[in-house]
Amino acid sequence: MNDKKLLEQLRERLRVKHYSIRTEQAYVYWVRYFVRYFNYRHPSEMGANEVQHFLNYLATQGKVASATQNQALNALHFLYHEVLDQPFGEMEKLVWAKRPKRLPVVLSRDETTRLLAQLDGQYLLMAQLLYGAGLRLMECIRLRIKDIDFDLNQIVVRDGKGAKDRVTMLPQNLKPALKLQMRKAYIQHKQDLLDGFGTVYLPYALAKKYPNAERELGWQYVFPATRLSVDPRSGKKQRHHFSEAMLQRKVKEAARKAHIFKPATCHTLRHSFATHLLENGYDIRTVQELLGHKNVTTTMIYTHVLNKGGLAVNSPLDQIPAS
Tell me which residues are annotated as active site. 136, 161, 267, 270, 293, 302
168 bridge partner residues: 155
Nearest 5 degrees, angle CA 257-CA 262-CA 266?
75
CA distance 118 to 10: 44
Looking at the chain, list the stretches that DSSP marks H as alpha helix, in order from N- to C-terminal side: 3-16, 21-37, 48-60, 66-78, 109-117, 121-133, 137-141, 175-194, 206-209, 244-257, 266-279, 284-291, 296-299
Asked whether the beta carbons of 82 and 55 are under 8 A apart, the reply is no
User: DSSP for 268-299?
Assistant: HHHHHHHHHHHHTT--HHHHHHHHT-SSHHHH
Angle between helices 121-133 and 109-117 (to 10 degrees): 160
In angstroms, the Cα distances linking 120 to 101, 114, 117, 155, 314 are 34, 12, 8, 22, 40
CA distance 148 to 157: 9
In angstroms, the Cα distances linking 83 to 11, 114, 316 are 10, 51, 63
Number of Cβ within a 10 Å radius of residue 105: 15
